Amino acid sequence: MNYSIALVPGDGIGPEVCSKAVEALETAGDKYGHIFNFVELEAGGCAIDSTGEPLPAATLDAARQCDALLLGAVGGPKWETLHGDKRPERALLGLRAGLGVFANLRPASLLPQLKDACPLKDEVLIASNEQGKATFDLLIVRELTGGIYFGERGRDGDGKAPDGSAYDTERYNRAEIERVLRVGYDAARKRRKKLTLVDKANVLESSRFWREITQEMAVGYKDIETNYLYVDNCAMQLVRAPGQFDVVVTSNLFGDILSDEASVISGSIGMLASASIGEIPTGHKYPAGMYEPIHGSAPDIAGRDLANPLAAILSAAMMLRYSFGLLKEAAAIEAAVTKVLDSGLRTKDIASRVKTGANEKIVGTKEMAAAVIKALENE
């Protein structure tokens, strides 16, 4: 099969890690008989330099034509003094809105090889893991384009008077909730078949609405175990018993906070991938999808062969799984990453946080990626 992929390397380490994700996709393509056609596009600081805009209209137009988008990272000190809508990060919001991606998927798992990077004690991890192992593997599905971040907001009075006030509004309609829940249930079907709705239904009307709709939809997903948790409890459970979670579905605000908490317990930022997905656009075959490592452009290490390319490579694997349904190809990339970590290779960001094992070898971006490609060829 042929797939077209918009490639937005961006700034800083973005181009370094993106090129390694491309190599991984090409290797998987050669191995399994797929052709990935890349359309390289500018967004972020580099686009500001060449066009004056963080997200040129031509970039968004071209990205919309493609089957999926892979992004490195945008931003850096050079553009930090620019105003709001001229900053590189505006490109991210523009791409998300322009592509219509409404569900953000952030896996957070602890690879046994990187266990020492996790701030939680072994006994905490073991207690909630079904197989009694010191690990966890969860996926947070966050609603991305609605709720309080987009609701009506404002201020009454001048803010100085005692009755001056400010407000933000959490409002969701049925369609917005149903579509993100469908993404969550579909993801759960490809994983351990458990979905937890996280809300604040003991207080908020909007949360009660989420819960009612989830209860209705659960009837159609009898193969999935559905349960419900208040957000304050979930924040505690993530650090007390993370192994209990498979797929967590939640609103924009709660997801923003919980996904950061989940990323901390999984160790290095250089390992974490993400996907943002939407409906199938008219005239397209695959759902809108934007894939990116969760880290930024890391200007402190850019151009020095120090960046960990694994988050970008794992983002490419997510693209294969969630956009194209290429499950065995995605699993092959993930297995290659695991194999390389098993062999003891570490980029500096991972090595500095783990106890140095006898077989541990610190390598740069290129050597790490080359090892993954080799392992993938032999998968």
Positions in the binding site for ligand NAD (CB under 6 A): 13, 17, 73-76, 89, 92, 269-270, 292, 295-301, 307-308, 311, 349
Q: Which of 133, 149, 194, 339 is catalytic?
A: 149
**By C-beta, is 74 or 317 nearer to ligand NAD?**
74
d(CA 284, CA 158) in angstroms, rounded, equals 49
**By C-beta, is 234 or 272 nearer to ligand NAD?**
272
CB of 282 to ligand NAD, least distance (A): 28
Residue 232 annotated among the catalytic residues of the structure: yes
Q: Which of 11, 200, 221, 286 is catalytic?
A: 200
Which string of b and e fits 166-190 if b means at least 16 CB within 10 Å?
Answer: eeeebebeeebbeebbbbbbbbbee
**By C-beta, is 151 or 299 nearer to ligand NAD?**
299
CB of 308 to ligand NAD, least distance (A): 3
Q: Which of 30, 49, 85, 232 is catalytic?
A: 232
Contacts 24+ apart (CB under 8 A), 212-219: 213/174, 213/177, 213/178, 213/181, 214/177, 214/181, 214/249, 217/178, 217/181, 217/182, 217/185
CB of 8 to ligand NAD, least distance (A): 9
Q: Which of 30, 168, 260, 300 is catalytic?
A: 260
CB-based closest residue to ligand NAD: 296
d(CA 42, CA 48) in angstroms, rounded, equals 9
CB of 376 to ligand NAD, least distance (A): 19
288, 96 Cβ separation under 8 angstroms = no
CB of 370 to ligand NAD, least distance (A): 16
CB of 79 to ligand NAD, least distance (A): 7
Residue 286 annotated among the catalytic residues of the structure: no
Q: Which of 185, 256, 286, 322 is catalytic?
A: 256
Residue 30 annotated among the catalytic residues of the structure: no
d(CA 302, CA 218) in angstroms, rounded, equals 46
Closest CA to 119 of 238, 230, 281: 238
Residue 256 annotated among the catalytic residues of the structure: yes
Residue 305 annotated among the catalytic residues of the structure: no
d(CA 279, CA 183) in angstroms, rounded, equals 10
**By C-beta, is 180 or 298 nearer to ligand NAD?**
298
Q: Report the length, in residues, of the chain.
A: 379
Mind telling me the catalytic residues? Answer: 149, 200, 232, 256, 260
